[in-house]
Amino acid sequence: MSEAIAQISGEELTLDEYIRDFNERFWSTANTGGWKLERRQTFRQPESASWTAFDQGDWDRALRLIEERRPEMREYYRRIAEHGFEVRRLRVVERPLSPYLIWELNSLRLREEFGDWIRVIDADRLTALEENGPLPELFVIGPDTVYEVVYDDEGIAVGAIRSVDAAEAKKAIRFIRSTYDRGEALSEFFDREVAGIRPPGTG
CA distance 112 to 115: 5
* Tens-place pLDDT, residues 45-88: 999 999 999 999 999 999 999 999 999 999 999 999 999 999 99
* Tens-place pLDDT, residues 26-54: 999 999 999 999 999 999 999 999 999 99
Tell me which CATH code domain 3-193 carries: 3.30.870.10
pTM for this structure?
0.94
* Tens-place pLDDT, residues 122-179: 999 999 999 888 999 999 999 999 999 999 999 999 999 999 999 999 999 999 999 9
The pLDDT mean for the chain works out to 95
